[in-house]
């Protein structure tokens, strides 16, 4: 089981209030991603759940049991750190075996479980090596191996892929998602990368300045962002935000149009000049200066436009997002 | 742009390094050479090739008991080092893993005691030692050497412990390790190289300490430094014998230093380069 409930959780460091007041329910087996910009409190929130930091207020429950004042070791959680945090003086096998040894398992059980974990993570040939002799991706796998052997009630990941190169990040993202499907254990994953959040999560928690801005499935957040912050944070490239007369026409202070919901048409609603055209093959991202301000357009991969070309753009009215003066979505 | 290193550069740099090393080492080398000369040879003037007589060594051994000051040196340097580690390990630990606003100040204050000339406290220390009956005692001198080297030991260990990433300790906690297991299985194995090189350096520093060891001892607790010093007044004109005594005094530490140079260099440059 792995139900985690946060009730009025707060955290201050001296006079600095990092997390004012958070309520959150994480269901058993869910893949939850905490996402937000640097310094939004997402790592702190994870460390509060782990027990590596003490809360300043509120309670944390795991499977209905109040663990607010319990030591990390007692919470039955496993954590994968950004720096991998492997024990440099131990071999891969000993690193993976460490939590089992601490739990007092017998040697035969330890050997069996270590072998099974190594097989799952393609580490069988590296069991006798030390962390220093492994690549970044392999080290990350060892860290994951150390987490899975003890069959925790939930896994905590603190930006585990940020030290890897782009290609490896893609592979590891897939591997972690597959691992979740296989183990069906609760996973809480912290990242500042909204692509990781969108692709991996069952549920995304968007954080900003220690507050939860919105909780929902990736598509809920994409289709119906509650406010300007979420609208601007989720989606790549970012949503275009337009103010002024163009927004007033739709009875809003700000309107948001995702780059994929802007079409290049003749004639169209807004006139624009192409600044940069990024041809990615499958898509072309056009960064244009329009009469309503700078916009990003996701156009067809085959489109033939270049710097300085004049084009017309038409937003998809059905997929327009409207926001009031406070930045809240108008439904 | 990377600098171009030619073979000629390498030869010149190597030769220069050897020359500097030789200049620094020369007094010790000449002491060793002189110890293998006869007294007439030693006094005759500069000469690099001795007659390889061991006469001086035999005389030093015959007239004076080398073994006693040697054992005193061993007891004092090892004893004071162990005592210093016993105090410094927890101190450095606390400062590295739960620093407060004042930690840096405390470290600076400790180091500042090393900036004071020892002679400034010679009289008060002498009187305290006399009143406590610690003069010419191994216990007294062990305490003295511990106090002298403690700031350096704390500093070195602190630098080592600071290099151990906090996340590894947190990982151990997440893995279910109790504080005791964390210390035994994770912290200590990672800190052993640091503790070892601190220990080696401190033994050398204690072995070579001459100010207090000469002034606070007479015969019973006198280590090799006092042994040489006592030699120089009556035997001042007998250079070969003096050299033999000096060689005997520095040989053990020189040999130990030679075999542990890898750890020592690592210890002295730790934290400087990653």
Instruction: Report ipTM for this prediction.
Output: 0.84
Regarding whether B202 and B243 lie in a shared domain, the answer is: no
**CB-hemisphere CA count at 13 Å for B231?**
28
Return the number of other C-beta atoms located less than 10 Å from residue A14's C-beta: 5
Q: In this predicted model, which residue has the larger pLDDT, A243 or B59?
A: A243
Q: Check residue A211 and give its pLDDT.
A: 94
Tell which wins on pLDDT, B60 or B21. Answer: B21
Cβ contact A313:A262 at 8 Å: yes
Q: Can you list the alpha helix ranges (DSSP code H) found in chain A?
A: 42-50, 92-102, 107-120, 136-148, 166-183, 194-200, 218-223, 228-233, 245-248
Minimal CA–CA distance to A184: which of A322, A24, A29, A17? A29
Mean pLDDT value across residues A212-217? 96
Does residue B270 form part of some domain?
no
**What is the pLDDT confidence band of residue A30, given thresholds at 50, 70 and 90?**
very high
Residue A202 pLDDT > 80, yes or no? Answer: yes
- Say yes or no: B46 and B73 in one domain: no
Reply yes or no on whether the pLDDT at A256 is more than 70.
yes
Mean pLDDT of chain A: 93
Q: Are A22 and A212 in contact (CB under 8 A)?
A: yes
Phi first, then psi: give them for residue A156, nearest 5 degrees.
-115, 125
pTM of the complete model: 0.76
> Which has the closest alpha carbon to B183: B195, B169, B170, B194?
B169
Q: What is the pLDDT of residue B188?
A: 81
Query: Of B62, B33, B30, nearest to B50 (Cα)?
Result: B33
Contact with chain A for residue B171, Cβ under 8 A: yes
Token code pair at residue B204: 């050398």
pLDDT of residue B63: 75
Model confidence pLDDT, tens digit, residues A4-15: 999 999 999 888
Hey, are the CB atoms on B171 and A79 less than 8 Å from each other?
yes
Pairwise CB contact (< 8 Å): A98 & B175: yes
Which of A87-96, A245-254, B64-73 has the lowest average pLDDT?
Answer: B64-73
Q: Are residues B26 and B144 in the same domain?
A: no
| pLDDT over threshold 70, residue A318 | yes
What does the pLDDT average to over A143-155? 92
Question: In chain A, what residues touch B168 (CB-CB under 8 Å)?
Answer: 85-88
Interchain pair B181, A102: CB under 8 A: yes
Q: How confident is the model at residue A123 (pLDDT cuts 50, 70, 90)?
A: very high
Specify the DSSP class assigned to residue A124.
G
Instruction: Identify the residue whose tokens are 């042994």.
Output: B227
Same domain, B206 and B95: yes
DSSP string covering B107-164 = HHHHHHGGGS-GGGGHHHHHHHHHHTT-TT-HHHHHHHHHHHHHHHHHHHHHHHHHHS
Which residue range forms the structural domain that includes residue B15?
1-65+234-252
From residue B211, alpha-carbon distances to A281, B82, B215, B225, B262 in Å are 79, 21, 6, 9, 29
Domain co-membership, B75 together with B49: no
Give yes or no: residues B81 and B209 share one domain: yes
List chain B residues with CB under 8 Å of A83: 165, 167
pLDDT at B235: 59
Q: How many CB pairs under 8 A join A and B?
A: 60
CB contact under 8 A, B174 and A78: yes
Does residue A224 have a pLDDT over 80? yes
Dist CA B244 CA B235 (whole Å):
12
Q: Could you give the strand order of the β-sheet that contains A16-26, starting from the edge strand earlier in sequence?
A: A16-26, A4-13, A57-62, A65-66
pLDDT-derived band at B274, boundaries 50, 70, 90: very low
Task: Measure in Å the smallest separation between the Cα of A171 and chain B Cα atoms.
Answer: 24
Whether residue B261 is contained in a domain is answered as no
Judgement on whether residues B98 and B121 belong to the same structural domain of the protein: yes
Q: A103 contacts in B (CB within 8 Å)?
A: 176
Cis peptide bond upstream of A237, omega within 30 = yes
Q: Is residue B224 part of a domain?
A: yes
- Residue B102 is predicted with a pLDDT of 92
Residues B141 and B225 in one domain: yes
Mean pLDDT to the nearest integer, B116-138: 90
Task: Sort B30 into a burial class: Cβ within 10 Å, 0-12 / 13-18 / 19+.
Answer: middle
Domains within chain A, CATH numbers bracketed = 4-227 (3.40.50.300), 237-323 (2.40.50.140)
Same domain as B84, residue B49 = no
Most B CBs within 10 A among A43, A74, A102, A147, hence the mutation to make, goes to A102
The SS3 assignment for B101 reads coil
Q: Is the pLDDT of residue B165 over 90?
A: no
Gap between the Cα atoms of A237 and A299, Å rounded: 12
Check if the beta carbon of residue A106 is closer than 8 Å to that of residue A124: no
Residue B274 lies in a domain: no
Q: pLDDT band at B114, cuts 50/70/90?
A: confident
Chain A within 8 Å of B170 (Cβ-Cβ)?
yes
The whole-number pLDDT of residue B269 equals: 57
Q: Do B175 and A77 touch (CB under 8 A)?
A: no
**Which pLDDT belongs to residue A325?**
93
Give me the mean pLDDT over the A131-136 stretch: 90
Confidence of residue B268 (pLDDT cuts 50, 70, 90): low
Mean pLDDT confidence for A187-201:
93
Is residue A267 reached through a cis peptide bond, with omega within 30 degrees of 0 on the bond before it?
yes
Distances (CA, A) of B257 to A313, B68, B203, B253: 78, 22, 10, 6
Q: Is the Cβ of B261 closer than 8 Å to some Cβ of chain A?
A: no
Stated length of chain A: 331
What is the band of B273 on the pLDDT scale with cuts at 50, 70, 90?
A: very low
Structural domain total, chain B: 2
Do residues B158 and B244 both lie within one domain? Answer: no
Q: Which of B171, B181, B186 to mutate to test the interface with A (most CBs of A within 10 A)?
A: B171
Q: What is the helix (H) or strand (E) element at residue A302, kind and residue range?
A: none
CB of B41 closer than 8 Å to CB of B50 = yes
The single residue listed with the structure tokens 């204050």 is B109
- Please check whether residue B91 lies inside any domain of the structure: yes
The pLDDT of A42-50, averaged and rounded, is 95
Q: In the predicted model, is pLDDT for residue B232 greater than 80?
A: no
In a domain, B258, yes or no: no
Q: How far apart are CA A246 and CA A159, in angstroms?
A: 39
B263, part of any domain: no
pLDDT at B271 over 60: no
More confident residue, B239 or B151: B151
- Coil vs helix vs strand at B87: helix
Residues B206, B73 share a domain? yes
Write the pLDDT tens digit of every residue in B179-224. 888 888 988 888 888 888 899 889 989 998 888 888 888 888 888 8
Where does the pLDDT of residue A1 fall: very low under 50, low under 70, confident under 90, or very high at 90 and above?
confident
Whether residue A238 contacts residue A222, with contact meaning beta carbons closer than 8 Å, is answered with no
Q: Are B96 and B158 in contact (CB under 8 A)?
A: yes
Residue A124 backbone phi and psi in degrees, to 5? -55, -40
Looking at the partner chain, which of B174, B181, B190 has a beta carbon nearest the beta carbon of A88?
A: B190
Looking at chain A, the whole-number percentage of residues with pLDDT higher than 90 is 82
R_g of chain A computed on alpha carbons: 23
Q: Does B186 touch chain A (CB under 8 A)?
A: yes
Domain presence at residue B137: yes
Q: Do B186 and A72 count as a contact with CB atoms less than 8 A apart?
A: no
Q: Smallest CA–CA separation between B165 and chain A, in Å?
A: 8
B237-247 pLDDT per residue, tens: 788 888 888 88
pLDDT of B229 reads 81
> Does B165 reach chain A within 8 Å, measured CB to CB?
yes
Token pair listed for A69: 């004042």
Which domain CATH number covers B207? 1.10.3720.10
Residues for chain B: how many in total? Answer: 274
Residues ≥6 apart with Cβ < 8 Å to A254: A228, A241, A242, A243, A247, A322, A323, A327
Q: pLDDT at position B240, please?
A: 86
Residue A73 with chain B: CB contacts under 8 Å: 173-178
Residue contact A52–B171, C-beta within 8 A:
no
CA distances from B13 to B2, B5, B21 (A): 17, 10, 12
- My answer on whether B122 and B243 are in the same domain is no
């Amino acid at each position: 089981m792995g139900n985690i409930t946060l009730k009025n959780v707060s955290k201050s460091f001296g006079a600095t209030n990092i997390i004012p007041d958070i309520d959150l329910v994480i269901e058993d087996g869910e893949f939850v991603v905490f996402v937000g910009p640097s310094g939004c409190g997402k790592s702190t929130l994870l460390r509060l759940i782990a027990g590596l930091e003490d809360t300043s207020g509120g309670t944390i429950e795991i499977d209905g049991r109040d663990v607010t004042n319990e030591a990390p070791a007692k919470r039955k959680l496993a954590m994968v750190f950004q720096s991998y945090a492997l024990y440099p003086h131990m071999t891969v096998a000993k690193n993976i075996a460490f939590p089992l040894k601490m739990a007092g398992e017998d040697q035969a059980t330890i050997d069996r479980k270590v072998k099974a974990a190594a097989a799952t993570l393609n580490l069988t040939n590296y069991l006798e090596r030390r962390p220093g002799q492994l690549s970044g991706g392999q080290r990350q796998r060892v860290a994951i191996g150390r987490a899975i052997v003890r069959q925790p009630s939930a896994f905590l990941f603190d930006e585990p892929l940020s030290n890897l190169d782009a290609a490896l990040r893609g592979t590891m993202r897939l591997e972690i998602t597959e691992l979740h499907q296989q183990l069906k254990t609760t996973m809480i994953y912290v990242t500042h990368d909204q692509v990781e959040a969108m692709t991996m999560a069952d549920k995304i928690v968007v954080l900003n300045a220690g507050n939860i801005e919105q909780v929902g499935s990736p598509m809920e957040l994409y289709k119906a962002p509650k406010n300007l912050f979420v609208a601007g944070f989720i989606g790549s490239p970012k949503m275009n935000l337009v103010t002024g007369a163009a927004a007033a026409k739709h009875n809003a202070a700000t309107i948001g149009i995702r780059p994929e919901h802007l079409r290049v048409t003749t004639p169209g609603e807004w006139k624009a000049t192409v600044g940069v055209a990024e041809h990615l093959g499958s898509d072309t991202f056009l960064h244009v200066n329009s009469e309503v301000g700078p916009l990003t357009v996701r156009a067809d991969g085959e489109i033939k436009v270049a710097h300085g070309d004049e084009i017309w753009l038409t937003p998809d009215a059905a997929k327009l997002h409207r926001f009031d003066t406070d930045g809240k979505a108008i439904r | 742009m990377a600098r171009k290193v030619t073979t000629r550069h390498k030869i010149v740099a190597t030769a220069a390094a050897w020359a500097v090393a030789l200049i620094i080492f020369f007094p010790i080398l000449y002491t060793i050479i002189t110890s293998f000369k006869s007294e007439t040879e030693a006094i005759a003037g500069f000469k690099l090739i001795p007659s390889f007589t061991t006469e001086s060594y035999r005389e030093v051994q015959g007239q004076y008991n080398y073994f006693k000051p040697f054992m005193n040196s061993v007891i004092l340097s090892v004893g004071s080092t162990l005592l210093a580690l016993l105090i410094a390990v927890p101190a450095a630990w606390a400062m590295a893993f739960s620093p407060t606003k004042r930690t840096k100040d405390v470290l600076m204050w400790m180091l500042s005691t090393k900036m004071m000339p020892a002679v400034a406290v010679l009289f008060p220390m002498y009187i305290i030692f006399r009143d406590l009956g610690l003069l010419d005692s191994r216990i007294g001198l062990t305490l003295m050497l511990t106090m002298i080297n403690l700031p350096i030991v704390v500093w070195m260990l602190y630098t080592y412990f600071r290099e151990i990433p906090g996340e590894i300790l947190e990982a151990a906690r997440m893995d279910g390790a109790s504080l005791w297991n964390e210390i035994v299985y994770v912290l200590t194995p990672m800190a052993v190289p640091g503790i070892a090189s601190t220990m080696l350096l401190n033994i050398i520093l204690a072995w070579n300490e001459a100010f207090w060891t000469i002034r606070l001892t007479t015969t019973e607790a006198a280590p090799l430094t006092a042994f040489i010093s006592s030699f120089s007044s009556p035997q001042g004109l007998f250079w070969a014998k003096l050299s033999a005594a000096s060689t005997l005094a520095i040989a053990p530490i020189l040999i130990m230093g030679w075999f542990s140079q890898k750890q020592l260099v690592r210890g002295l440059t730790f934290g400087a380069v990653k």
